[in-house]
Chains A and B, each alone.
Chain A
Amino acid sequence: MILETVDLTKTFGGLTAVDAVDMQVEEQEIRAIIGPNGSGKSTMLNCISGVYRPTSGVVKFKGEPVGGSAPHTLTRKGMGRTFQNIRMFNSLTVLQNVMVGRHCRTKDTLVEDILGLPRCRREESQMRVKALEYLEFMGIASKKDMLPGSLSYGQRRMVEIARALATEPRLLLLDEPAAGLSQTEANELAAAICKIRDFGITIVLVEHNMRFVMGISDQITVLDFGKKIAEGTPADCRADPRVIECYLGGKVGGRA
């Protein structure tokens, strides 16, 4: 089990955004967290990735409690993530963006960088080569010298994932990766996510696009008002009356 939350709770003032959620994610699983707007999905992801400090409860990553650790510590331990509203480094080129993801895996010091010593030169060129490989993997290497601002939304999403992969994660958290993508782009993204998983990376994603979620997830966790109301395979969830109720409100009978 690579990721486990026990009784995870996050409150903002009087509002309980995530309410005592237990979740276990196995290695190499694709886990989706779904739920209506405001159900606490993104908050949950932020608690796991260290952006928020959980109010109570435990987050275990690779069996080790990590609740409240800083994001950069978690990244070094092997947890990568992307953001709902893509956060690119807009004054760096696409390639440099991905190179920043490699920084945490390099050891050259400031003095070596200033003097241009062998280790700095070696690490710089390795960073460049590796970054380019990740861009090629996501199919956007031809854009390497462009600024993120001149890319389409879908391309920026691919760069963001390449950048997260560059940190060498064991667990990749994706916050609404398909949001704002065309159907074609979403399909490409889904294929990429499956490919990433096949190489041993566990994926936890928050997503609204049901077609996308049902297509790629192994397991789905459904949240409503911060509480976990269902968990299981896509087929189980689709059939679960509580899930249908929370999405369609009241009357059972619609298709999720």
Chain B
Amino acid sequence: MRQRKSMLLPGLVLAAAFLIVLPLLMTTDYWRQLLNQALVYIVIVVGYNFFTGDVGQLSMAQQGFFAIGAYTTALLTTNAGWSWPAALLSSMCVTGVVGAVVGIPTLRVRGQYLIMVTMAFSEIVRLVAINWSSLTGGASGVTKIPSPSIGGWEFDTKTSIYYLFLTIAIVMILVAWRVRKTKYGRAFLAIRDGELAASVMGLNTTYVKVVAFFLSAVFAGVGGNMFASSFNYISPDTFGLSQTVLILAMLLIGGEGSIAGAVVGAIILTYLPELLRFAHGYYMFVYGVLIVLITLFLPGGVVGYAKRFWSRHIGPRVFKIPPPGPDAGDRPFDAQDLFTRSLGAPKKTDPASTAPPVERAGDAA
């Protein structure tokens, strides 16, 4: 363990250096744009993981929240002339409120019904965006969305946007990590593993699920803001069903239920289409086959596989982690102490009742 910790700092420095020079290694603006797109998807998929990964309920609503976040930022920064930070906060608030309002009635259903309800939600958002043209610009979308700026600081190049988005993505990942490490993260997993048992543990499961859904929505809102302000143009076409499927595929391929999985999945599926350019017309076919193969042969996704590979082959050799030893043995514990503290002194002591039952049963027989 000590060896692992001592490698943490150099590892972090190395990773930071890599992330800082990364846009400078990209040869074209197009590749830098993809980098920013990957960061947008990282935020969205890390958020999606709360509900669909950790709580384990398939939602098709992430897309709808993404659209709402993007439109909120687009309309506020163009029509209303709001600043970018204010638009970011508004996107988070609007998607958060919509997430909670949609979640409270719908999260009582599960499985196929939940898929249908959430898919309908995303479709409604898209149809509203198309048909409420006086507000949303209809099918032609919103153009000339300003790039992000904080105070007088303009983020108008792909590289500067990259650094801004990288910061946002890291903050969002840290938030997700904190949630995962504390009470709500455990509650999410508890509900996935056994909803009835979780409710008997005193968890209001509907409320906890709404919290997960709310968090997913807020993350999608942030992603929507990033998307609108870096592409400067949005239209309802962007937010079709294929987008929902893409977000889901990112989570499955990266590894559901894991933050690292969400990040890796988002990166892989942002770049995969580019790497498959050589396939020309067959590109969608190759893409589909790859996704099928990964889901079939890598349960737990790429990250799940990497973890298993690490703990089986690399970890034991590199760090010489000893195999788990025999139990240290359970030290005797003063039960009196525990219950006196939480419940007050014992009220009844009947020596016969504390004796092992065998004798009593034997006596009677």
Contact = CB atoms under 8 A, between A and B. Distances in A.
Interface of A: 28, 30, 49, 51, 70-72, 75-76, 80-81, 83, 87-92, 96-97, 99-101, 103-106, 108, 110, 113-116, 120, 123-124, 127, 133-134, 136-137, 139-143, 163-164, 167-168, 183, 186-187, 190-191, 194-195, 197-201, 211-212, 214-216, 218, 234-235, 238, 255
Contacts of A89: 189-190, 193-194, 197-198
Contact of B190 (A70, A76, A100, A114): A100
Chain B interface: which size bin? 35 or more
B196 A87 contact: yes
Ranked nearest first, the 5 interchain pairs of A and B with the lowest CB-CB distance are A215-B357, A104-B202, A199-B339, A75-B202, A87-B197
A201 B335 contact: no
B28 interface: no
Contact of B331 (A97, A101, A136): A136
Nearest to B56: A91
Contacts of A190: 356-357
B338 A216 contact: no
B148 interface: no
B202 A200 contact: no
Contact of A198 (B327, B328, B344, B354): B354
B330 A136 contact: yes
Main secondary structure of the interface of A (DSSP, over half): helix
Interface string B132-168: 0000000000000000000000000000000000000
Given A75-B201, A110-B211, A187-B358, A103 B183 contact: yes
A100 B194 contact: no
Interface stretch (B111-119, B174-182, B245-253): B174-182
A124 B330 contact: no
Contact of B201 (A103, A120, A183, A201): A103
A214 B356 CA distance: 12
A163 B354 contact: no
Contacts of B358: 183, 187, 211, 215
